[in-house]
Structure 1
Amino acid sequence: MSGSENDPGRLTYAGGYDAVLRQMEGRRDPFTFQDDEALPPGDCDLKSLRSEIVGALPVALKKSKSTFGYKCRELNEEFYGRPRLCYLNGLLIANLRRRDQPPQCAPLFRRIWAEEHAFMLSQLDARWLVSSVTTFADHGATEAQRRVGHALTVLFSTMKLYETERLFSGHAPDEPFPWRRKTSNALPLQMDPYAVTGGGLDVNMLGRLWDDAAGDEVIAPLAHHLLRALNADGRNVFRRLRLMREARQEGRAAPAPGVDFERDPQFDRHAVPVPGALAKAPPSWGVVATVKAPLDQIARFAAWHRELGAERVTLYLDAPETAQTGWLAGRDWLQVIPCDEAHWTRLGRRPKMHQLRQAANVQDAYDHAGTAWLAHVDVDEFLLPAGPLSDVLAAAPGEAALVHLHPVEMLAEPAPSDTRRFKTTARMAGQHKRVLQRLYPTFGEHLRGGYVSHLEGKVIARTGLAGVSPGIHFLNWKGKPATNRVIPQGSYVGHAHAPDFDSFMAHLPYRMHHGSYRKRENTDFRLADVIDFLQQQEGPGALAGFFEEVCTATPRLVADLDKSGMLVTREMPFDALVAKHFGGPPPEGA
């Protein structure tokens, strides 16, 4: 935060929250009563008030100079000819919005909704139902009543603010917005935009409200009635977002204009200059990887990206084998570069660290790229665009130097399947990090984002930019990561980091000492500490339990991820794609 929060000239509410509170409190002065004025007693007969109809006011109330008398006249006019119980409910709400009120006021209000909720729901319009449920925020008898009342107060008050602003936009309340954003400005307070196609913020918010209300028999009928009404009303942001999402999924929106980008809030801070000619280039793209893996895994990687539309797949074989090189060779779309002595002589020297060899190879690929864009990923990573990747890249702003993809982590499937499921982080779904403790009850609080692999994502860089050096997770310029990046919503890089338990265990020693699991600093109890503890204290079976809870597509985890908006599913028929692009599977053991 900057010093602007203390600069009166830059505040929305001059005087800060002291002034806000003074204004709020000024509206809450208690009602004044004349000697003969009072609310009904707390034990009054509610059933008789159902049949009693509001008629003319008594003469005394018509002439009353009290603020209570004024409110009675106002409500009498509104409820004239309707049941007196509705009038009484309104009068109680008006009193309860003040700082002080007669002692029977709150208990009588709660009695109405405990004993006569069915009648009230049949008689009151939505405006008075909202007023009633929000009154529970300050005057509920239980913690659940107060919590639900506060939550619905925020929901309905926020809806009233933004729907009022919408009146000035020219859009009808039931009209979904077009897919193309008219601005890429960042959201306030560094918030991430809601992911329209895959986000779970809306259902998680409304579902939580429904569940909380269900725990209290007094507020549940009223709260559930209003949430059902909201679901049935087509004139709100939830319905508009649903229509946008459906149009996108059904292909009714043009692919390129429909790309929904999140713009880096630091976009202009360290931006690589993008020449106009590069910004207008056709969106051809390629992918590069430094690989050291069995040939069948390499073939799946190459075939997947060729099927997506890659014009070139470049593979740097970190430990070249004649059998692999020979089987892969001979395809114009596939460039195979053995990282042998001649290769490293050409580039200068062979770095000892694998990460530095990756960096040297991707720089070489970038310098000789024959496509407008170049994606740098690992052999266990797969681009997962929401639509044709060329359309996504074509829609990127001309001043963007790179498209950044958030990572999703592949779950191990209990049985062989072409359907692959990935999990997102809590943040990507608009969830609070405490959801991780529900998803992964034993280990969630020790995992960054709920992952065992990286959270940084991968880059598709615009090629031809002067002075840049593509890295593993970033595009560097003048010694710092370039900030003129955009993130397409609904597109990811899928990381098959631990596709099965045997693979997880085979890579564990390297990852603990040299790779992504190693602990780089003295931080809290994290993944490396969890694995150390399980290995040393719990025995061999403990790691299998860890893998099942965190990394396996169990029915419970899949259902919970889906409910939380944190599940991504893709059809990935690897065997069929390898057969299509290579003519058949590679020889076993290569």
Structure 2
Amino acid sequence: MGGGNGGQLSLAPHLLAGHSWVMSDDSKPMETYPGGFRAILKQMGLRMDPLTYDEGEALPPLDVDFQPLKAQTIHKDAAEVGRSRSTYARKYRELAQEFHRRPALLHLHGMLVSNLRRTGQPAHTAALFVRLWAEESEYLIRHLDARWLVSAITTFGDAGLTDTQRQLGQALSVLFGMMKLYETERLYSGHAPNVAFATQERSAKHLAMQMDPYAISSGGLDVNLLGGLWVQAGDDPVIRPLARHLLDMLIGDDKTVFRRLRLMRQEREAALAEKGIRRKSGPKRERVAEVPAFLASKDPDTLRWGLVSLIKAPLPQIARFAAHHLDLGADRLHIYLDAPAPETAAFLAQNPKVQVTECDAAFWAAQKKPRMKAHQMRQTWVATQAYQDTDVDWLAHIDVDEFLLPPAPMKELLAGLDKYSTVLRIYPVELLAGSQGNELFKLMPRFAGQTRGVLEDLYPTYGAHLPGGFISHREGKNFARTGLMGIRVGIHTVMQGGAVMANRTKVDNLYIGHAHAPDWPYFRDHMAFRMTRGSYRKSDEDKFRLLDILSFLQEEEGEQGVRTFFTEVCEATPRLIEGLEAHNMLLRYPLDLDAKVLRHFGPLPEQETTK
């Protein structure tokens, strides 16, 4: 699997699942647009014919002086074009009616927009439009209404002179266009635009295109969407004033879906509080981090990535963890040993890409703070230190029993991210115990297009009480873009200034394989710690979860009861493998860890002594 091109994902596409077709009399699917995209493009073309100009008619030259046009006013009679019947003159008169007794500069802006919506406009039209916004953005924003400002941003999408102008213009054009469509449909619902819908009822569980609904209580889609556009606008001084003014108007308007969803969230939180239901604790604020241009590298040849991990484990386990990620192309591994282990440190340090730190008394004294009692706090501390000191572009904080399982080289995946992304979320898959050497991992239902109901088929006794069918974490881990200020790297989150980073993204079929319970003895021996101080502790006392299952089995059936649970839920039994594969929830990704250790470190000490 050298270079990260190893295991294959055993997933089949779900292109037809869940679709509901409306059939016509001749048993053919009803088409939203008869004729498909050929007809759509033809209809678009009818609206793209260029304006025609009669003799003597022309737009002002590129170097026109804008100042006199602010003092000059337009009259609705439009005597300037006389009786001309050109489409230019027709549009001129139409805009003269709208801008009657208003500055001619606004009329010029309208004529530029009208020309740029069509093909074949005069050669200097786009440059004149961009120059107008570069020099007069403050004036235009002050004197044009929201409708014309949206038209302007749309025009940047068609005729901007830079990549940012075109990309941001197109993105905002799609946003405002979709708002116009769904808000028009809302007019027929009987609901006022500034009144939130009731949160108790939902007509369906899924949206079109098999999308999951937005999580009203905790979703970040709105923040990521709006924040990403705001950050992107900062890259271009010409479009920035217009784009950010429109986004400010949008979040300040109380008649949008964003405001309604905010009200629905507040209503739901109030209802939960009234019932005494405690939501899972955690950071509530989110923020969008600005990415300086010099950090937004997309060249896979120069991009560097690495990992940080606080570890207390035997040398063979650490060496396999390190070797796997070196084999994937990691440029730096920051390994912090939670307890001094000189022989382990010396073995790992043979590879120059591995930076080993022994967290002994001297280390903690240098931190100018006592060693934290909770290992989770120590993990966060060293991960944040590594983030500040690392020499890589992207850093992931993961544990020694976790293995990145990329579908392509990590450098390519990271280089392919949007330059405004600051966090890459990697969701977990769980190793099936006993599959070492030919590793098998199980997926959560939603990543295979399945519903939660499948869990009771796979785990008949316990599936209803195991979210995702996992006994380990479901949140996943993160790569963080380095070089940003005020960053705190947690176990499952990356924060800036006390708020969760909102510039998150993900890559399809990129998972982190969690060897949480590789076999029964390991699970049994670590269970007590995990139940009292580790990951099995509950965050919501009202729900029956893994801790309750294990406590009940210990009390009622002893170790044999827990062993039966482990067999049903965790082991690579033929029954479970067949069930997972039938539901496209099985990932085959052989790791070949010992071969990687030999390749990157040489023989382990015990291997040398047994020769």
What band does the TM-score fall into relative to the shorter chain? Answer: 0.5 to 0.7
Q: 1:436 aligns with which of 455, 459, 467?
A: 455
- Contact map agreement 1:404 1:457 (CA 8 A) in 2: yes
Q: Which residue of 1 aligns with 2:408?
A: 387
Amino acid at match of 2:428: P
SS of 2:357's equivalent in the other structure is strand
C-alpha deviation, 1:589, in angstroms: 13
Q: Deviation string for 1:12-35 (max 9, x for gaps)?
A: xxxxxxxxxxxxxxxxxxxxxxxx
Within 2, Cα distance between the matches of 1:169 and 1:543?
A: 61
- Contact map agreement 2:21 2:30 (CA 8 A) in 1: no
C-alpha deviation, 1:151, in angstroms: 5.8
- Cα separation, partners in 2 of 1:161 and 1:499, compared to 1, 3 Å: farther
Within 2, Cα distance between the matches of 1:412 and 1:164?
A: 53
Q: 1:522 aligns with which of 541, 564, 570?
A: 541
Q: Deviation string for 1:171-207 (max 9, x for gaps)?
A: 9xxxxxxxxxx98999999979989xxx9x9xxxxxx
Amino acid at match of 2:223: Q
Amino acid at match of 1:521: D
- Cα separation, partners in 2 of 1:540 and 1:361, compared to 1, 3 Å: same
Within 1, Cα distance between the matches of 2:18 and 2:475?
A: 39
Within 2, Cα distance between the matches of 1:163 and 1:456?
A: 43
- Match runs of 1:59-208 below 5 Å: 160-161=31-32, 166-167=37-38
Q: Which residue of 1 aligns with 2:388?
A: 367
Amino acid at match of 1:401: T
Q: Deviation string for 1:249-271 (max 9, x for gaps)?
A: xxxxxxxxxxxxx9955314521
Q: Which residue of 1 aligns with 2:340?
A: 320
Whether 1:351 and 2:372 are equivalent positions in the alignment is yes
Within 2, Cα distance between the matches of 1:420 and 1:162?
A: 47
Q: 1:289 aligns with which of 309, 312, 319?
A: 309
Q: 2:330 aligns with which of 303, 306, 310?
A: 310
In the superposition, the TM-score normalised over structure 2's length comes to 0.55
Whether 1:492 and 2:449 are equivalent positions in the alignment is no
Within 2, Cα distance between the matches of 1:274 and 1:308?
A: 26
- Cα separation, partners in 2 of 1:580 and 1:527, compared to 1, 3 Å: same
- Cα separation, partners in 2 of 1:152 and 1:339, compared to 1, 3 Å: same
- Match runs of 1:214-363 below 5 Å: 266-267=223-224, 268-269=226-227, 270-280=287-297, 282-349=302-369, 350-363=371-384
- Contact map agreement 1:295 1:586 (CA 8 A) in 2: no
Q: Which residue of 1 aligns with 2:603?
A: 584
Q: Which residue of 2 aligns with 1:423?
A: 442
SS of 2:506's equivalent in the other structure is strand
What is the aligned residue count?
367
Within 2, Cα distance between the matches of 1:406 and 1:484?
A: 16
C-alpha deviation, 1:330, in angstroms: 3.0
C-alpha deviation, 1:431, in angstroms: 1.5
C-alpha deviation, 1:585, in angstroms: 2.2
In the superposition, the TM-score normalised over structure 1's length comes to 0.57
Q: Deviation string for 1:392-432 (max 9, x for gaps)?
A: 00000000001110111111126xx4221111111222211
C-alpha deviation, 1:541, in angstroms: 1.2
Within 2, Cα distance between the matches of 1:165 and 1:319?
A: 65
Within 2, Cα distance between the matches of 1:355 and 1:337?
A: 17
Q: 2:568 aligns with which of 544, 549, 564?
A: 549
C-alpha deviation, 1:568, in angstroms: 1.2
- Structure 1 vs Structure 2: percent identity of aligned residues? 40
Q: Deviation string for 1:284-316 (max 9, x for gaps)?
A: 101110000111000000000000000111100
Q: Which residue of 2 aligns with 1:223?
A: none
- Contact map agreement 1:384 1:491 (CA 8 A) in 2: yes
Within 2, Cα distance between the matches of 1:305 and 1:556?
A: 32
- Cα separation, partners in 2 of 1:400 and 1:149, compared to 1, 3 Å: closer
Within 2, Cα distance between the matches of 1:501 and 1:193?
A: 43
Q: Deviation string for 1:474-532 (max 9, x for gaps)?
A: 11012111110110001011111001111100110100000011123312211100001
Amino acid at match of 1:492: Y
C-alpha deviation, 1:453, in angstroms: 0.3
- Cα separation, partners in 2 of 1:353 and 1:190, compared to 1, 3 Å: farther
Within 1, Cα distance between the matches of 2:605 and 2:33?
A: 58
Q: Which residue of 2 aligns with 1:87?
A: none
More off after superposition, 529-538 vs 316-325? 316-325
C-alpha deviation, 1:169, in angstroms: 6.8
Could you list the runs of 5+ residues in structure 2 that have no partner in the other structure?
1-16, 43-169, 183-203, 213-218, 228-286
Whether 1:446 and 2:465 are equivalent positions in the alignment is yes
Amino acid at match of 1:277: F
- Contact map agreement 2:307 2:397 (CA 8 A) in 1: yes
Within 2, Cα distance between the matches of 1:273 and 1:158?
A: 46
SS of 2:425's equivalent in the other structure is strand
Amino acid at match of 1:342: A
Could you list the runs of 5+ residues in structure 1 that have no partner in the other structure?
1-147, 172-181, 202-261
- Contact map agreement 2:350 2:601 (CA 8 A) in 1: no
- Cα separation, partners in 2 of 1:272 and 1:336, compared to 1, 3 Å: same
Q: Which residue of 1 aligns with 2:555?
A: 536
Q: RMSD between aligned alpha carbons?
A: 3.5
C-alpha deviation, 1:160, in angstroms: 4.0
Within 2, Cα distance between the matches of 1:400 and 1:308?
A: 22
Within 1, Cα distance between the matches of 2:451 and 2:577?
A: 18
Within 1, Cα distance between the matches of 2:327 and 2:443?
A: 24
- Cα separation, partners in 2 of 1:169 and 1:535, compared to 1, 3 Å: farther
SS of 2:478's equivalent in the other structure is strand
SS of 1:493's equivalent in the other structure is strand
Q: Deviation string for 1:439-462 (max 9, x for gaps)?
A: 111000010111000011000110
Whether 1:478 and 2:502 are equivalent positions in the alignment is no
Q: Which residue of 2 aligns with 1:412?
A: 433
Q: Which residue of 2 aligns with 1:215?
A: none
- Cα separation, partners in 2 of 1:530 and 1:369, compared to 1, 3 Å: same
- Cα separation, partners in 2 of 1:159 and 1:338, compared to 1, 3 Å: farther
- Cα separation, partners in 2 of 1:558 and 1:150, compared to 1, 3 Å: closer
C-alpha deviation, 1:378, in angstroms: 0.3
Within 2, Cα distance between the matches of 1:161 and 1:554?
A: 47
- Cα separation, partners in 2 of 1:459 and 1:562, compared to 1, 3 Å: same
C-alpha deviation, 1:345, in angstroms: 1.6
- Contact map agreement 2:21 2:29 (CA 8 A) in 1: no
Within 2, Cα distance between the matches of 1:381 and 1:438?
A: 27
- Cα separation, partners in 2 of 1:540 and 1:288, compared to 1, 3 Å: same
SS of 1:476's equivalent in the other structure is strand
